[in-house]
Amino acid sequence: MGLQSDRVVVVTGASRGAGRGIAQALGATGATVYVTGRTRRDGEAALPGTVQGTADAVSAAGGHGVAVYCDHADDAQVRALFEQVADEQGRLDILVNNATSLHDALTDSGPFWEKPLALTQLWDVGMRSHYTATWHAAPLLLAAGRGLVVNTSSFGGRIYMHGPAYGAGKAAVDKMSHDMAVDFRPHNVAVLSIWMGLLLTERSRRVFDAEPDKYADLVATAEHPEFTGRVIDALALDPDLMARSGKVWIGAELAQEYGVCDIDGSTPPSHRAFFGDPTTFGDAVVE
């Protein structure tokens, strides 16, 4: 990966899972990485991982990790996060919007009306929180003169996956990336969505470990959480980054183009053939 020792990054939702892996991979480039989350101590959440633990992992990887305890459902806390970045850094190079509220019932079988309305929380911490974070980050991204906003997303924005609450949230994030890119384009700030594959997170590993034989084939093609962070690093170094802006990209395909490998040296496959193409939006702008 490239070395950008003066790079300033914010990764939201980074106590564990994709956010932790992305932050750690970007920390390996020497960057200062602000990581956000709500878990202060192990045992507070059903899954392991804390905000400070991720910040420590970023520093151990070669960067400078800064833990910021932030509930992205609270706009005041989000504002305080970016005020801290402004006071301490004066600019922002990369924002990774990853914070998402995933209800335990999300993967339950059955139609949406048999699941709790609380699943719509992912529209607040997910769709809305991505918008809010980017709104607060905008002055810092403009100050840097060149920037990148990545919204982590999934094939669920196009196909039926976990039901309509999940699908609507992901589809909205993808369209939001496109529209934000229109406004940011004159300022040399790129905005895009990355569809991640099946991730080897704490949550998925718990499922895999319970029935290893059943999921052996899936595990063989899964991505480590750091993989997307490596792809984001390659994007940030691309001199033609703005040509990527406003679009939805499959992370595994970007990795193939940039020659990026996963942390185990593997090249995770794209699931385009099974799940379909990324969303293509029109170029017309109507004020």
Q: What share of the chain is helix, strand, coil (3-state, %, to 5)?
A: 50, 15, 40
Handedness of CA 221, 159, 279, 35 (dihedral sign): negative
Q: What is the dihedral of CA 96, 15, 105, 252, to 10 degrees?
A: 40
The β-bridge relationship of strands 189-195 and 32-37 is: unpaired
- Sorted by sequence, the CB contacts under 8 Å of residue 66 that are 6+ apart come out as 32, 33, 34, 35, 55, 88
Residue 89 DSSP class: T
N-to-C CA span, the chain: 40
275, 158 in Cβ contact below 8 A? yes
104 φ, ψ (degrees, to nearest 5): -60, -25
CA gyration radius for the chain? 18
User: Is there a catalytic annotation at residue 69?
Assistant: no
Catalytic pick among 69, 131, 166, 215? 166
Handedness of CA 169, 124, 203, 196 (dihedral sign): positive
Q: Which residues are catalytic?
A: 166
